[in-house]
């Protein structure tokens, strides 16, 4: 089933409480997916790049060397980022099995991400100037508290409450997906894609790599590849309606835009609220009402709808 949500402030100065908003929206839709929760949050240009890396997971409660292993990994990741020529500004190791690095880098980002991922168990969750992806098991309140997301100030955000149907309950399979290695593109998806293997093989032949076995990941890479070739977000999403099979409502975000697409059967729900200063969309109106607490005029976009808003 899964619940997806997105919020974008249109006239803000980039200092909106999107983290808190997203937690409220996702917590209201907990019944749609209690397995895991994920956020993709955007702030106005941070200094340099921000990279979130997931570290290896514990092998059960008798994994006595876990803490030491994770610490070794943290050191190794930082050393590799430095050795490839990046100028590291800060390293945050407060989360239990993830770490955040901010750095400047003039070289190839794919090369850097590949080098970090080469460490056993390490996965780059997001990399970009303004994008931060956080995902973990549990509901929105738990994840927000663990990662301090309710204090996040930014311009727009998307989120996902997951009920696993096509792949494992696992952080790697949780949404949102970053379009590796394209900076600042992320996707959340509600539905199932039936030509996933076809697209995965196609994109893998083109040199892309995938972090998980989840069908939704191809949407992110698919869109980012089209955009890297110069197509706009809206055109790429329109094309996806014909090239991706299955049922879907997905939200794609870039540095300065938020777009939503619905398949041509209208099989998955989406409720949309638009006003002069805010656009909020979610699988259920009850989520929007947690952010805009009054009677509002909302509607369901029709099948095959593609809509894009910019900050």
Partner 1 sequence: MDNLSATYDARGLVELDGTIPKISEIDGERAVLDARELSTRKINAELRWLLYEQGIKDVTVLNPGARHSLGTGILTRCRLTFEGSLGYFGVGLIDGPEIQINGRVGWSVAENMMSGVVVIESNAGSLAGAALRGGDLVVKGQVGARTGIDQKGGTILVLGDAGSMTGFMLQRGRQIICGDVGPGLGDSMYDGTIYVGGTVASLGIDCVEGEWTDADTELIERKFRIYGLGAPPELKKFVCGKKLYNYDNLEPSERKLVL
Which residue numbers are catalytic? 2
Size of site (CB under 8 A) for partner 1: 22
Least distance (Å) between residue 289 CB and partner 1: 5
Nearer to partner 1, 24 or 54 (CB): 24
- The burial class, CB within 10 Å (0-12 / 13-18 / 19+), for 64 is exposed
Side-chain-side CA neighbours of residue 132 (13 Å): 24
- Taking the complex as a whole, the smallest distance from the CB of residue 297 to partner 1 amounts, in Å, to 7
Q: Which is nearer to partner 1, 231 or 245 (CB)?
A: 245
Among 271, 280, 281, 306, binds partner 1 (CB under 8 A): 271
**Of the two residues 276 and 297, which places its CB atom closer to partner 1 in the complex?**
297
By rule CB under 8 A, what string of x and - marks binding of each residue 213-252 to partner 1? ----------------------------------------
CA dist., res. 69 & res. 56, Å (int):
8
Query: 274 Cβ partners below 8 Å, 6+ apart?
Result: none
Q: Which of 13, 106, 151, 297 binds partner 1 (CB under 8 A)?
A: 297
Which of 166, 264, 275, 277 binds partner 1 (CB under 8 A)? It is 264
Rounded CA gap, 3 and 160, in Å?
6
Distance CA 186, CA 188 (A): 7
Of residues 7 through 46, those in contact with partner 1 by CB under 8 A are 30-31, 34
User: Does residue 169 touch partner 1 according to CB under 8 A?
Assistant: no
> Is the separation of the CB atoms in 291 and 297 below 8 Å?
no
Q: How is residue 11 annotated by DSSP?
A: S
HSE-CB for 209 with a 13 A CA cutoff: 11
Query: Is the distance from CB of 218 to CB of 252 less than 8 angstroms?
Result: no
Determine, following the binding rule CB under 8 A, whether residue 209 of this chain makes contact with partner 1. no
Query: Binding residues for partner 1, per CB under 8 A?
Result: 30-31, 34, 139, 264-266, 269, 271, 284-286, 288-289, 295-300, 302-303
């Amino acid at each position: 089933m899964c619940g997806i949500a997105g919020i974008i402030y249109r006239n803000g100065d980039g200092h909106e409480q999107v983290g808190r908003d997203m937690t409220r929206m996702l917590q209201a839709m907990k019944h749609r997916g209690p397995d895991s929760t994920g956020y993709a949050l955007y702030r106005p240009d941070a200094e340099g790049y921000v990279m979130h890396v997931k570290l290896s997971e514990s092998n059960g409660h008798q994994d006595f060397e876990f803490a030491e292993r994770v610490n070794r990994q943290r050191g190794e990741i930082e050393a590799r980022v430095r050795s490839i020529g990046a100028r590291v500004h800060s390293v945050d190791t407060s989360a239990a099995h993830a770490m955040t690095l901010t750095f400047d880098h003039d070289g190839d980002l794919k090369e850097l991400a590949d080098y970090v991922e080469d460490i056993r168990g390490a996965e780059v969750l997001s990399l970009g100037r303004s994008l931060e992806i956080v995902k973990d098991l549990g509901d929105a309140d738990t994840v927000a508290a663990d990662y301090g997301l309710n204090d996040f100030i930014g311009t727009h955000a998307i989120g996902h409450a997951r009920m696993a149907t096509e792949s494992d309950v696992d952080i790697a399979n949780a949404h949102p997906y970053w379009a590796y290695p394209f900076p600042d593109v992320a996707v959340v998806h509600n539905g199932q894609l039936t030509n996933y293997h076809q697209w995965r093989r196609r994109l893998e032949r083109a040199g892309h790599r995938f972090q998980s076995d989840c069908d939704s990941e191809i949407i992110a890479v698919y869109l980012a590849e089209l955009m890297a070739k110069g197509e706009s977000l809206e055109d790429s999403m329109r094309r996806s309606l014909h090239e991706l099979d299955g049922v879907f409502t997905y939200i794609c975000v870039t540095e300065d835009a938020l777009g939503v697409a619905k398949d041509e059967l209208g099989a998955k729900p989406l409720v949309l609220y638009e006003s002069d200063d805010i656009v909020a969309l979610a699988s259920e109106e009850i989520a929007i009402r947690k952010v805009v607490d009054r009677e509002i005029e909302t509607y369901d976009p029709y099948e095959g709808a593609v809509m894009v808003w910019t900050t």
